[in-house]
Structure 1
Amino acid sequence: MKANICILILGTLAAHASAQTQQLDRSDRILHQASDLMPWCEAEARYRYMLQGVSTFQWSGSYHDRSNMLFVEGHLRAGGEDVAVHCRAVSGARTQDAVIEIDAPPG
């Protein structure tokens, strides 16, 4: 009886760990088009300001591609200033490989 309970618990823990791994993998998406990069770019910019305790508002942006490169040019209101945000990635790359540049961050 105890062995069956241990196996059941271990099976449940393994399923839970597998679900967490799959959840993490979904957040690291493959970028096929420039429009795939836009939500990541906004979220990453907001996240970086959140880490500094700076409130952000009014995201706007546009996207385009050139050859196999994806680009996002955005603007964000952060700490009372308008800030330019630039993101880029190679088509087919994962979000973890995307690059973000933020001009004149508050602080």
Structure 2
Amino acid sequence: MGELFIVAGLRAKEGKDDELRRDLAELVELSRQEEGSIRYDLFVSRDEPGLFVLVEHWASEEARSKHHNESSHIQRFHGDGKRNVERTEFFHMLDRVV
């Protein structure tokens, strides 16, 4: 299997934008250091305050799976950091067409 791209949107709970931004910024910095991470960026919507978008580019599905299932910072976010997340707006695993 080849490269994998992921786009995910997380909606912050009311009044928790700053806390979620902080949690996600830490998660991004640590994720960028992982083996197989080609790109891992965090964006915030201009049109919808409180909507954070993660764009990930992995060398392989295996690298992303290891990141998601074994990385301590991801496990910590899922256990504690999600307290500031209202809901996941979208989550797409993508293959490059061109």
TM-score class, shorter-chain normalisation, is 0.3 to 0.5
- Based on CA coordinates, which of the two structures has the bigger radius of gyration? 1
| TM-score normalized by the length of structure 2 | 0.32
Greater RCO between the two (CA within 8 Å, min separation 6)? 2
